[in-house]
C-alpha cells in the first residue's frame, strides 16, 4: 500500500513538470542550485564519461547579455538564476548532445522536486554558440547547448497537448499498432 503510494507519487512527479517562464521576484539560494546540480551528476551518459559542465549565472549583467543573444524575449532575463550547460564534444563526439540532454532533464526534474520552475532555451545556431562562448569565456571545444532559466514559479500553466499514446506506439514492427 505504502509502496503503491510511492509509485503514484513518482509518476505524478514526472507528469507534473512544466516549462515555467514567469518567476517570483525572490532570490534562489546558491546552495539550492548546487543541490540541483548535485543530482544532475547522476544523469546517465555513454560510457559514464559525464561530458557536462555547468555555469551558474546570477550576475544580472551577464544574464542580460545572454538574453540578448536571441532576437526574442528570453525568460532568463526575469529569472534570478540561469544555468548554462556545456558539453565536451571531444570526449563524447557521437553522444554529447544526448548525454547533455540527460543532465538537463535531471536539472529540470531536481528543480521541480524542490518546487523551482525551469525552462530550457536551446543554443542551436552557430552564431548563438559563439556569442555564449564569448560572454562566458568558454573554450572553443566546449559546446554550450542550453540555457536553463531557474526561479520560483509565478505561473501555473496547464499541460500542453500531447499526442495520444496509440499514435506513437507500435508492437514488434513499425506500423503494427497496439489494439
Site for a copy of itself in 57-116 (CB under 8 A): 57-59, 62, 86, 94-95, 97-102, 104-106, 108-110, 112-115
Radius of gyration of the chain (CA): 18
Q: Would you state the cell numbers that stand for residue 41, as one nine-digit string?
A: 551528476
> Looking at 126, 141, 156, 163, which residue binds a copy of itself (CB under 8 A)?
163
Q: Is residue 156 near a copy of itself by the rule CB under 8 A?
A: no
Coil vs helix vs strand at 162: coil
CA distance 49 to 44: 9
Q: Closer CB to a copy of itself, residue 90 or residue 113? A: 113
Neighbours of 177 (CB within 10 A): 10
Per-residue buried b or exposed e for 7-24, using 16+ beta carbons within 10 Å of the residue's own CB: eeeeeeeeeebbebbbbe
Instruction: Indicate whether 169 belongs to the interface with a copy of itself (CB under 8 A).
Output: yes
21 belongs to the binding site for a copy of itself (CB under 8 A): no
Among the listed ranges 21-29, 48-56, 67-75, 150-158, the one in contact with a copy of itself (CB under 8 A) is 48-56
Q: CA–CA separation, 85 vs 148, rounded Å?
A: 8
User: What residues pair up with 142 in beta bridges, in sequence order?
Assistant: 88
Stretch that binds a copy of itself, among 21-29, 71-79, 149-157, 168-176 (CB under 8 A): 168-176
What cell numbers appear for 87 in the block? 558539453
Please state the closest distance from residue 145 (CB atom) to a copy of itself, in A.
7
Minimum Å distance from CB 70 to a copy of itself? 14
Residues binding a copy of itself: number (CB under 8 A): 75
How does strand 117-122 pair with strand 52-57? Answer: unpaired
Measured from the CB of residue 161, what is the shortest distance to a copy of itself in angstroms? 8
CB of 154 to a copy of itself, least distance (A): 19
Amino acid at each position: 500500500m505504502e509502496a503503491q503510494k510511492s509509485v503514484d507519487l513518482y509518476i505524478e512527479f514526472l507528469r507534473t513538470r512544466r516549462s515555467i517562464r514567469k518567476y517570483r521576484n525572490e532570490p534562489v539560494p546558491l546552495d539550492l542550485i548546487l543541490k540541483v546540480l548535485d543530482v544532475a551528476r547522476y544523469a546517465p551518459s555513454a560510457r559514464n564519461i559525464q561530458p557536462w559542465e555547468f555555469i551558474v549565472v546570477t550576475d544580472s549583467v551577464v544574464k542580460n547579455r545572454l538574453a540578448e543573444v536571441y532576437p526574442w524575449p528570453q525568460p532568463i532575463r526575469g529569472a534570478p538564476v540561469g544555468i548554462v550547460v556545456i558539453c565536451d564534444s571531444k570526449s563524447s563526439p557521437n553522444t554529447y548532445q544526448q548525454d547533455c540532454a540527460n543532465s538537463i532533464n535531471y536539472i529540470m526534474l531536481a528543480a521541480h522536486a524542490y518546487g523551482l520552475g525551469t525552462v530550457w532555451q536551446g543554443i542551436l545556431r552557430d552564431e548563438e554558440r559563439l556569442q555564449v562562448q564569448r560572454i562566458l569565456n568558454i573554450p572553443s571545444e566546449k559546446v554550450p547547448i542550453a540555457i536553463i532559466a531557474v526561479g520560483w514559479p509565478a505561473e501555473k500553466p496547464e499541460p500542453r497537448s500531447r499526442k495520444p499514446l496509440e499514435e506513437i506506439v507500435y508492437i514488434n514492427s513499425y506500423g503494427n499498432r497496439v489494439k
